[in-house]
Amino acid sequence: MRVRFWGVRGSIPAPGPRTVRYGGNTPCVEMDIAGETFIIDAGTGIRELGFDLMRRAAGAPIKGRLFIGHTHWDHIQGFPFFTPLFLPTTRFSVYGMHGTTKPFQEVMAGQMHSTYFPLQLKDLGSKPEFHEMNGPLQAGPVRVTTHFLNHPGITVGYRFEHEGKVVSYISDHEPYGALNPKGEFSDKEDAAVARFVAGSDLLICEAQYTNAEYAVKRGWGHSTFADILDLAQKAEVKRMALFHHDPLHDDDKLDARLVESLALISSRKLAIECFAAREGQVVEL
Protein backbone atom coordinates (compact mmCIF):
# COMPACT_ATOMS: atom_id res chain seq x y z
CA MET A 1 0.00 0.00 0.00
CA ARG A 2 1.17 3.51 -0.73
CA VAL A 3 -0.53 6.44 1.00
CA ARG A 4 -0.19 10.01 -0.22
CA PHE A 5 -1.58 13.10 1.50
CA TRP A 6 -3.08 15.72 -0.83
CA GLY A 7 -4.88 17.81 1.79
CA VAL A 8 -4.28 17.74 5.55
CA ARG A 9 -6.01 20.89 6.80
CA GLY A 10 -9.31 20.82 8.68
CA SER A 11 -12.36 23.08 8.57
CA ILE A 12 -11.33 25.55 5.83
CA PRO A 13 -8.43 25.94 3.40
CA ALA A 14 -5.62 27.93 4.99
CA PRO A 15 -3.15 28.85 2.25
CA GLY A 16 -0.30 31.33 2.69
CA PRO A 17 3.30 31.68 3.78
CA ARG A 18 2.59 30.54 7.38
CA THR A 19 1.17 27.16 6.32
CA VAL A 20 3.36 26.41 3.32
CA ARG A 21 5.28 23.50 4.89
CA TYR A 22 2.29 21.45 6.08
CA GLY A 23 -0.09 22.77 3.42
CA GLY A 24 -3.42 24.57 3.35
CA ASN A 25 -5.72 22.21 1.41
CA THR A 26 -8.57 20.40 3.14
CA PRO A 27 -8.74 16.58 3.53
CA CYS A 28 -7.84 14.26 0.70
CA VAL A 29 -5.80 11.07 1.00
CA GLU A 30 -4.87 8.83 -1.92
CA MET A 31 -4.05 5.16 -1.47
CA ASP A 32 -2.54 2.98 -4.15
CA ILE A 33 -3.44 -0.58 -3.15
CA ALA A 34 -2.40 -3.39 -5.48
CA GLY A 35 -2.32 -0.89 -8.35
CA GLU A 36 -5.85 0.43 -7.76
CA THR A 37 -6.74 3.96 -6.69
CA PHE A 38 -8.63 4.57 -3.45
CA ILE A 39 -9.29 8.13 -2.31
CA ILE A 40 -10.59 9.26 1.07
CA ASP A 41 -12.47 12.55 1.15
CA ALA A 42 -12.78 15.23 -1.50
CA GLY A 43 -11.53 18.35 0.25
CA THR A 44 -9.70 20.94 -1.81
CA GLY A 45 -6.63 18.67 -1.95
CA ILE A 46 -8.41 16.46 -4.48
CA ARG A 47 -8.00 19.11 -7.18
CA GLU A 48 -4.24 18.61 -7.49
CA LEU A 49 -4.71 14.85 -7.18
CA GLY A 50 -7.00 15.02 -10.21
CA PHE A 51 -4.34 16.72 -12.30
CA ASP A 52 -1.76 14.19 -11.14
CA LEU A 53 -4.00 11.22 -12.01
CA MET A 54 -4.44 12.70 -15.50
CA ARG A 55 -0.68 13.13 -15.94
CA ARG A 56 -0.07 9.56 -14.79
CA ALA A 57 -2.81 8.15 -17.03
CA ALA A 58 -1.38 9.98 -20.08
CA GLY A 59 -4.66 9.74 -21.96
CA ALA A 60 -5.73 6.28 -20.76
CA PRO A 61 -9.07 5.99 -18.90
CA ILE A 62 -8.90 6.84 -15.18
CA LYS A 63 -10.52 4.45 -12.71
CA GLY A 64 -10.89 4.65 -8.98
CA ARG A 65 -13.01 4.75 -5.86
CA LEU A 66 -13.71 7.74 -3.64
CA PHE A 67 -14.87 7.33 -0.03
CA ILE A 68 -16.47 10.28 1.77
CA GLY A 69 -16.36 10.17 5.59
CA HIS A 70 -18.93 12.93 5.95
CA THR A 71 -20.27 15.76 3.86
CA HIS A 72 -19.16 18.84 5.75
CA TRP A 73 -17.77 21.38 3.29
CA ASP A 74 -14.12 20.81 4.07
CA HIS A 75 -14.49 17.14 3.00
CA ILE A 76 -16.43 17.65 -0.27
CA GLN A 77 -15.59 21.09 -1.57
CA GLY A 78 -12.95 19.85 -4.00
CA PHE A 79 -15.37 17.36 -5.60
CA PRO A 80 -16.62 19.67 -8.39
CA PHE A 81 -12.97 20.52 -9.18
CA PHE A 82 -11.83 16.90 -9.55
CA THR A 83 -11.19 17.17 -13.28
CA PRO A 84 -11.10 13.42 -14.16
CA LEU A 85 -14.84 13.28 -13.40
CA PHE A 86 -15.50 15.53 -16.39
CA LEU A 87 -13.93 13.03 -18.82
CA PRO A 88 -16.45 10.55 -20.30
CA THR A 89 -13.79 7.81 -20.23
CA THR A 90 -13.32 8.02 -16.43
CA ARG A 91 -14.85 5.29 -14.27
CA PHE A 92 -15.30 6.33 -10.65
CA SER A 93 -17.44 4.99 -7.81
CA VAL A 94 -18.21 7.33 -4.94
CA TYR A 95 -19.10 5.89 -1.52
CA GLY A 96 -20.67 7.55 1.52
CA MET A 97 -23.53 7.38 3.97
CA HIS A 98 -27.23 8.10 3.53
CA GLY A 99 -27.82 11.67 4.75
CA THR A 100 -30.11 12.62 7.63
CA THR A 101 -32.89 13.61 5.21
CA LYS A 102 -31.61 12.70 1.72
CA PRO A 103 -29.75 9.98 -0.15
CA PHE A 104 -25.96 10.40 -0.39
CA GLN A 105 -26.07 11.29 -4.08
CA GLU A 106 -28.55 14.12 -3.46
CA VAL A 107 -26.38 15.49 -0.68
CA MET A 108 -23.38 15.52 -3.02
CA ALA A 109 -25.48 17.15 -5.75
CA GLY A 110 -26.59 19.83 -3.28
CA GLN A 111 -23.30 21.71 -3.25
CA MET A 112 -23.48 21.86 -7.07
CA HIS A 113 -26.98 23.36 -7.08
CA SER A 114 -27.10 26.44 -9.33
CA THR A 115 -27.34 28.66 -6.24
CA TYR A 116 -23.78 27.66 -5.35
CA PHE A 117 -22.07 26.44 -8.51
CA PRO A 118 -22.25 26.92 -12.30
CA LEU A 119 -22.34 23.20 -13.25
CA GLN A 120 -24.56 20.45 -11.90
CA LEU A 121 -23.79 16.87 -10.96
CA LYS A 122 -25.39 15.69 -14.23
CA ASP A 123 -22.76 17.69 -16.14
CA LEU A 124 -19.97 15.36 -14.95
CA GLY A 125 -19.19 13.52 -18.18
CA SER A 126 -17.98 10.38 -16.42
CA LYS A 127 -21.37 9.80 -14.72
CA PRO A 128 -19.84 8.59 -11.44
CA GLU A 129 -21.76 5.88 -9.60
CA PHE A 130 -22.85 6.70 -6.06
CA HIS A 131 -23.14 3.99 -3.42
CA GLU A 132 -24.27 4.15 0.18
CA MET A 133 -22.10 2.16 2.57
CA ASN A 134 -24.21 -0.43 4.28
CA GLY A 135 -21.93 -3.01 5.90
CA PRO A 136 -18.53 -4.32 4.84
CA LEU A 137 -17.55 -3.85 1.22
CA GLN A 138 -15.12 -5.87 -0.88
CA ALA A 139 -13.76 -3.22 -3.25
CA GLY A 140 -11.53 -5.09 -5.68
CA PRO A 141 -8.64 -6.39 -3.61
CA VAL A 142 -9.54 -4.39 -0.51
CA ARG A 143 -11.99 -4.97 2.35
CA VAL A 144 -13.53 -1.68 3.46
CA THR A 145 -15.51 -1.24 6.67
CA THR A 146 -17.05 1.79 8.36
CA HIS A 147 -17.79 2.86 11.92
CA PHE A 148 -19.90 5.81 13.09
CA LEU A 149 -17.94 8.60 14.74
CA ASN A 150 -18.93 11.23 17.28
CA HIS A 151 -19.26 14.39 15.19
CA PRO A 152 -22.20 16.69 14.35
CA GLY A 153 -24.07 15.14 11.41
CA ILE A 154 -23.55 11.64 10.03
CA THR A 155 -19.85 10.80 10.02
CA VAL A 156 -17.97 7.54 9.60
CA GLY A 157 -14.40 6.38 9.88
CA TYR A 158 -12.97 3.93 7.34
CA ARG A 159 -10.80 0.85 7.67
CA PHE A 160 -9.03 -0.53 4.60
CA GLU A 161 -7.47 -4.00 4.74
CA HIS A 162 -5.33 -5.71 2.15
CA GLU A 163 -3.06 -8.72 2.59
CA GLY A 164 -2.64 -8.19 6.32
CA LYS A 165 -2.02 -4.43 6.10
CA VAL A 166 -4.50 -2.00 7.63
CA VAL A 167 -5.03 1.74 7.15
CA SER A 168 -7.71 3.43 9.26
CA TYR A 169 -9.09 6.94 8.90
CA ILE A 170 -10.70 8.72 11.86
CA SER A 171 -11.63 12.31 10.99
CA ASP A 172 -13.62 14.13 12.35
CA HIS A 173 -14.21 12.69 15.82
CA GLU A 174 -14.65 13.75 19.43
CA PRO A 175 -14.04 10.91 21.88
CA TYR A 176 -17.22 9.97 23.74
CA GLY A 177 -15.42 10.05 27.08
CA ALA A 178 -14.29 13.64 26.46
CA LEU A 179 -17.75 14.96 25.61
CA ASN A 180 -19.93 12.88 27.92
CA PRO A 181 -19.71 12.06 31.59
CA LYS A 182 -17.38 9.11 32.20
CA GLY A 183 -19.41 5.95 32.46
CA GLU A 184 -20.72 2.89 30.75
CA PHE A 185 -21.98 4.61 27.59
CA SER A 186 -18.74 6.49 26.89
CA ASP A 187 -16.55 3.50 27.74
CA LYS A 188 -18.54 1.22 25.46
CA GLU A 189 -18.52 3.63 22.49
CA ASP A 190 -14.83 4.53 22.85
CA ALA A 191 -13.96 0.83 23.10
CA ALA A 192 -15.92 0.17 19.90
CA VAL A 193 -13.90 2.83 18.03
CA ALA A 194 -10.70 1.29 19.39
CA ARG A 195 -11.77 -2.16 18.18
CA PHE A 196 -12.54 -0.67 14.78
CA VAL A 197 -8.99 0.68 14.32
CA ALA A 198 -7.29 -2.20 16.19
CA GLY A 199 -3.87 -3.19 14.90
CA SER A 200 -3.72 -0.48 12.23
CA ASP A 201 -0.37 -0.19 10.49
CA LEU A 202 -1.33 3.44 9.91
CA LEU A 203 -4.03 5.38 11.74
CA ILE A 204 -4.81 8.68 10.02
CA CYS A 205 -6.43 10.63 12.82
CA GLU A 206 -7.31 14.10 13.76
CA ALA A 207 -6.01 15.76 16.92
CA GLN A 208 -7.20 19.20 15.98
CA TYR A 209 -7.25 21.02 19.30
CA THR A 210 -4.83 21.82 22.07
CA ASN A 211 -6.24 21.16 25.55
CA ALA A 212 -6.91 24.90 25.98
CA GLU A 213 -8.75 25.09 22.66
CA TYR A 214 -10.80 22.01 23.49
CA ALA A 215 -11.99 23.65 26.70
CA VAL A 216 -13.82 26.32 24.66
CA LYS A 217 -14.72 24.14 21.64
CA ARG A 218 -16.18 21.17 23.43
CA GLY A 219 -19.01 19.62 21.42
CA TRP A 220 -17.63 20.83 18.08
CA GLY A 221 -16.71 17.25 17.18
CA HIS A 222 -12.91 17.20 17.39
CA SER A 223 -10.14 15.68 19.52
CA THR A 224 -7.06 16.61 21.49
CA PHE A 225 -3.82 14.68 21.05
CA ALA A 226 -4.05 13.09 24.52
CA ASP A 227 -7.51 11.72 23.68
CA ILE A 228 -6.48 10.34 20.32
CA LEU A 229 -3.37 8.81 21.87
CA ASP A 230 -5.66 6.96 24.32
CA LEU A 231 -7.41 5.53 21.28
CA ALA A 232 -4.18 4.58 19.50
CA GLN A 233 -2.83 2.99 22.68
CA LYS A 234 -5.95 0.91 23.29
CA ALA A 235 -6.03 -0.14 19.65
CA GLU A 236 -2.30 -0.98 19.55
CA VAL A 237 -1.75 0.92 16.31
CA LYS A 238 1.76 0.97 14.91
CA ARG A 239 1.91 4.40 13.36
CA MET A 240 -0.29 7.49 13.58
CA ALA A 241 -0.54 10.41 11.18
CA LEU A 242 -1.87 13.59 12.77
CA PHE A 243 -4.28 15.12 10.31
CA HIS A 244 -7.10 17.70 9.87
CA HIS A 245 -4.81 20.41 11.25
CA ASP A 246 -6.57 23.42 12.70
CA PRO A 247 -6.57 26.40 10.28
CA LEU A 248 -5.27 28.58 13.12
CA HIS A 249 -2.20 26.37 13.60
CA ASP A 250 0.65 27.60 11.42
CA ASP A 251 3.77 25.57 10.55
CA ASP A 252 5.68 26.55 13.69
CA LYS A 253 2.70 25.73 15.89
CA LEU A 254 2.33 22.30 14.24
CA ASP A 255 6.07 21.62 14.72
CA ALA A 256 5.68 22.47 18.40
CA ARG A 257 2.54 20.34 18.78
CA LEU A 258 4.35 17.37 17.24
CA VAL A 259 7.22 17.76 19.71
CA GLU A 260 4.72 17.79 22.60
CA SER A 261 2.92 14.78 21.13
CA LEU A 262 6.13 12.75 20.82
CA ALA A 263 7.01 13.67 24.41
CA LEU A 264 3.64 12.35 25.61
CA ILE A 265 4.15 9.11 23.67
CA SER A 266 7.58 8.55 25.20
CA SER A 267 6.34 9.48 28.69
CA ARG A 268 3.86 6.61 28.35
CA LYS A 269 6.68 4.36 27.09
CA LEU A 270 4.80 3.54 23.90
CA ALA A 271 6.40 2.36 20.67
CA ILE A 272 3.85 4.15 18.46
CA GLU A 273 5.43 6.12 15.60
CA CYS A 274 3.78 9.49 15.10
CA PHE A 275 4.12 12.26 12.55
CA ALA A 276 2.14 15.34 11.53
CA ALA A 277 0.93 14.75 7.98
CA ARG A 278 2.08 17.18 5.30
CA GLU A 279 0.61 17.84 1.90
CA GLY A 280 2.57 15.80 -0.65
CA GLN A 281 3.91 13.33 1.92
CA VAL A 282 4.07 9.68 0.84
CA VAL A 283 4.02 6.73 3.26
CA GLU A 284 4.77 3.18 2.13
CA LEU A 285 3.31 0.29 4.10
Residues near Zn ion, by CB under 5 A: 10, 72, 74, 172
Give least dist CB 243 to Zn ion, A.
10
For residue 202, the Cα-to-chain-centroid distance in whole angstroms is 12
CA-CA distances (angstroms) from residue 70 to 27, 32, 256, 280? 11, 22, 29, 23
Give least dist CB 110 to Zn ion, A.
16
Give least dist CB 127 to Zn ion, A.
28
Give least dist CB 221 to Zn ion, A.
6
Tell me whether residue 91 is exposed, middle or buried, using C-beta atoms within 10 angstroms of its C-beta: 0 to 12, 13 to 18, 19 or more.
middle
Q: Which residue is nearest to Zn ion (CB)?
A: 72
Give least dist CB 183 to Zn ion, A.
26
Which is nearer to Zn ion, 1 or 40 (by Cβ)? 40
Which is nearer to Zn ion, 140 or 247 (by Cβ)? 247
d(CA 146, CA 89): 29
Which is nearer to Zn ion, 90 or 223 (by Cβ)? 223
**225-235 vs 251-267: helix crossing angle, rounded to 10:** 40
Q: What is the identity of the amino acid at 25?
A: N
**Greatest extent of the chain over all pairs of C-alpha atoms, in Å:** 57
Cis peptide before 32 (omega within 30 of 0): no
Which is nearer to Zn ion, 4 or 72 (by Cβ)? 72
Which is nearer to Zn ion, 65 or 75 (by Cβ)? 75
